[in-house]
Amino acid sequence: MTVDIKQLLIFDFDGTLIDSVPDLADATNAMLATLGKETYPIETIRNWIGNGSRLLVERALVGKVEVLEGELTVEEANYAEHLFFEAYKNLSGSKTVAYPDVDNGLKKLKAAGFTLALVTNKPIRFVPKILQSFGWQDLFSEVLGGDSLSTKKPDPAPLLHVCKALNVTPEQAVMIGDSRNDILAGQNANMDTFGLSYGYNYGQDIRELNPTEAFDAFTALVEYIFKNYTIDS
């Protein structure tokens, strides 16, 4: 069996490490209620998450995944996004939970010597508080939000930025996520990609995007990494 040398594990956040849908859904419905619009059940909103806050807000305003050009004015979307951010900021975050075995798995990987990074499309202002709530603030060597750079996933730029900052080549890195944005970003950056099937991928099976490997549980991902990857020392 060939064991690949890897150093850097880049993780997505929402849908990969944490289930934040309940808080995001509450904030979305609070925004809609403030605007006097129809609110939606959590399972509907779940399918709108994964492309960052702006598109989530726009999808909620039109009530569907595809937002057509001209359906919303920039002013409408800007105001609604402002309301969404205010609502999300005021939530306690108590409904956001880590997926099973993520806490233990991350700590095992870190202890084994892998470098961990976090690249999310969530606005960066909301990330530190959530990391701290789980005690993960010291696990990740680099943390990027969706607005940390001028582009976000599926653009490979955030992944390549992290690699450069940590002096790691893309070939020594793996992108791990639950949605097409994660897999496409990793593929565009020419790095291995691991898909997790339990997250938010708009109802599409993550395996259809041809990740390097796909897993149904975080424990299976961690076991695979320990079995197939070694660290370049």
What CA–CA distance (Å, rounded) separates 183 from 181? 6
Length of the chain: 233
Give pLDDT, residue 93. Answer: 77
Instruction: For residue range 143-153, list pLDDT tens digits in order.
Output: 999 999 999 99
Instruction: For residue range 58-78, list pLDDT tens digits in order.
Output: 999 999 999 999 999 999 999
The residues assigned a catalytic role are 12
Tokens at residue 194, please?
Answer: 């691991």
How would residue 1 be classed by pLDDT, with cut points 50, 70 and 90?
A: very low
Residues 6 or more apart whose CB falls under 8 angstroms from that of 39 comprise: 29, 32, 33
Look at residues 187, 72, 102 and name the one whose alpha carbon lies nearest to residue 64.
72
Query: Average pLDDT of the chain?
Result: 94
Give pLDDT, residue 150. Answer: 96
Look at residues 132, 33, 47, 121 and name the one whose alpha carbon lies nearest to residue 84.
33
What values do phi and psi take at 189, rounded to 5?
-90, 0
What values do phi and psi take at 16, rounded to 5?
-115, -55
Residue tagged 């680099």 (tokens): 142
Tokens at residue 179, please?
Answer: 């949605």
10 Å CB burial of residue 8 (0-12, 13-18, 19+) is: buried
Give pLDDT, residue 163. Answer: 98
The answer to whether 193 and 186 are in contact (CB under 8 A) is yes
Instruction: For residue range 154-184, list pLDDT tens digits in order.
Output: 999 999 999 999 999 999 999 999 999 999 9
What CA–CA distance (Å, rounded) separates 67 from 78? 15
What values do phi and psi take at 177, rounded to 5?
-160, 180
For residues 133-143, average pLDDT = 97
Residue 128 has pLDDT above 70, yes or no: yes
How would residue 92 be classed by pLDDT, with cut points 50, 70 and 90?
A: low
Complete DSSP assignment for the chain: ---EE--EEEE--BTTTEE-HHHHHHHHHHHHHHTTPPP--HHHHHTT-SS-HHHHHHHHHHTSS---TTSS-HHHHHHHHHHHHHHHHHS--TT-EEPTTHHHHHHHHHHTT-EEEEE-SS-GGGHHHHHHHHT-TTTEEEEE-TTSSS--TTSSHHHHHHHHHTT--GGGEEEEESSHHHHHHHHHTT-EEEEETTS-STT--GGGG--SEEESSHHHHHHHHHHHEE---
